[in-house]
Structure 1
Amino acid sequence: MDYGRRGHLALTAGLFSGGTLGAGLAPRPARAQGTGTLRVEGPKPLPALALTDPEGARREIPFFAGKGIVLNLWATWCPPCVEEMPALDRLAGLVAGDGILVVPASSDRGGRAMVEPFYARTGVRNLGVWLDPNSAATRALGARGLPTTVLIDRQGRERARLEGGAAWDGDALLAEVRRLCGDGTAA
């Protein structure tokens, strides 16, 4: 996390004066609308990549043929990932009838044993368990950090990407997901 020069100076001053870690930092505002911006840059071919299903089977993107995909790269230890997960869960429910899948690919080292308890604890009901062992898909997609979400059309092409958290169930992003991952009428 980059606090900038002032943040580091405040942190250092706070620690040297007997303060606690973070005492000198300004509070962070709530991110109700998320921090990322959707970049539409497509369509472009996807690199070869695979995810692992809950049973341990390797699934390449053609496994999802004919479906639009909202591929979210995340981890349970990532605060912005955790923050956006309820919105992704709601998005999955909203677009299921449109033939669009929300596929959250966890890079947690503990795999399924980390994700399932997280889903139960946080009330996630509409998302499946998908794993990105060793962050191979994350690297193949050139993601610079977590969360990163890639919108994939029904032809298996990347249409857009968003780095950072987002309110995926908001009207504007919901419309973009339907337009870019939907029935293929978007050019």
Structure 2
Amino acid sequence: MSEQKNGNTTIFMIVGAAVVLAIVAVLAAVYVNDAPSGNNSNGANSAVAPAAACSGSVELAKAVEPFATGHVAAMASASEPRSLAFLSFNSPQGEKMTVGDMSGKTLLVNLWATWCAPCREEMPALDELQKVMGGEDFEVVAINIDQGDDSKPTAFLEEIGVASLGYYRDNTMGVFNDLKKEGLAFGLPVTLLIDEAGCLVANMNGPAHWSSDDAKAYVGAALSGRQQPSS
């Protein structure tokens, strides 16, 4: 009788433990489903925050769209608010930074590599655009994504006489992969127009003549927020 009692007690304990584990699993599943995704821990507001921060980007995208002509005709205006403030790369000083760290400036972000022939061709024009229009309100952020050390990209920039562009870098190609996940990068070069809040205004895949009058008018429209192109 004693052995039977002990056996029943053991069975009850096993069943009880199983029930407890099942309850814990259910609660964990509920928590995972209700918890915000990614690294943001602001709950329900996490999905709303980027859209709220980018509320003016779509209007700006509409304003610059008439200027996407000629050499920059491939720039596609954003149709919905999208924050790119999270994009990460290294600063000219070799320190980790994001697009969000450059808030307050309109940015023309360009991803390039030395093994990309169209990238090499457009780099002098990007340097010229930065020289002519760069300042407190605007910067061309050309991010090199060559893997390995700095020797190839720096030698190339020195060879072609780049003097105005900052040397931004990401040898992990993480910034390219992030843009690929966002559906914004399919190859190189990739160019993004980003407003002062770190929000996407327009993007294109492929090269452009960035020192052309078309490009300067396009950037000028982004800086001034003009609604109609000048005659």
Query: TM-score, normalised to structure 2's length?
Result: 0.61
Q: Distance in 1 between matches of 2:152 and 2:214?
A: 32
Return the structure number with greater strand share.
1
- Work out the number of aligned pairs and report it: 153
Is the 8 Å Cα contact of residues 36 and 163 (structure 1) preserved in structure 2? no
Is the 8 Å Cα contact of residues 149 and 163 (structure 1) preserved in structure 2? yes
| Structure 1 residue 154 corresponds to structure 2 residue 196 | yes
**Who is 2:155 aligned against?**
117
Pairing of 1:1-187 with structure 2 (within 5 A): 37-42=74-79, 43-46=81-84, 48-97=86-135, 99-142=137-180, 143-180=185-222, 182=223, 185=225
Spell out, residue by residue over 1:95-140, the C-alpha distance to the aligned partner (whole angstroms, 9 max, x if none): 1146211011111113432222111101111111111232111111
Q: Distance in 1 between matches of 2:88 and 2:176?
A: 10
Query: TM-score, normalised to structure 1's length?
Result: 0.74
> Which structure 2 segments of 5+ residues have no match?
1-69
Deviation at 1:171, TM superposition (A): 1.2
Greater mean deviation of Cα atoms: 67-76 or 135-144: 135-144
Q: Distance in 2 between matches of 1:134 and 1:100?
A: 26
Q: Against the structure 1 CA distance between its residues 48 and 174, is the aligned structure 2 distance closer, same or farther, given a 3 Å change threshold?
A: same
Q: Against the structure 1 CA distance between its residues 98 and 53, is the aligned structure 2 distance closer, same or farther, given a 3 Å change threshold?
A: closer
- Match of 1:167, SS state, is coil
Q: Distance in 2 between matches of 1:78 and 1:34?
A: 19
Q: Against the structure 1 CA distance between its residues 171 and 35, is the aligned structure 2 distance closer, same or farther, given a 3 Å change threshold?
A: closer
Percent identity among equivalent residues?
34
1:149 is aligned with what amino acid?
T
> Which structure 1 segments of 5+ residues have no match?
1-32
Is the 8 Å Cα contact of residues 71 and 212 (structure 2) preserved in structure 1? no
Return the structure number with greater helix share.
2
Is the 8 Å Cα contact of residues 85 and 100 (structure 2) preserved in structure 1? no
2:129 is aligned with what amino acid?
L
Structure 1 runs of 4+ with >4 Å offset? 33-36
Deviation at 1:34, TM superposition (A): 6.2
Larger radius of gyration: 2
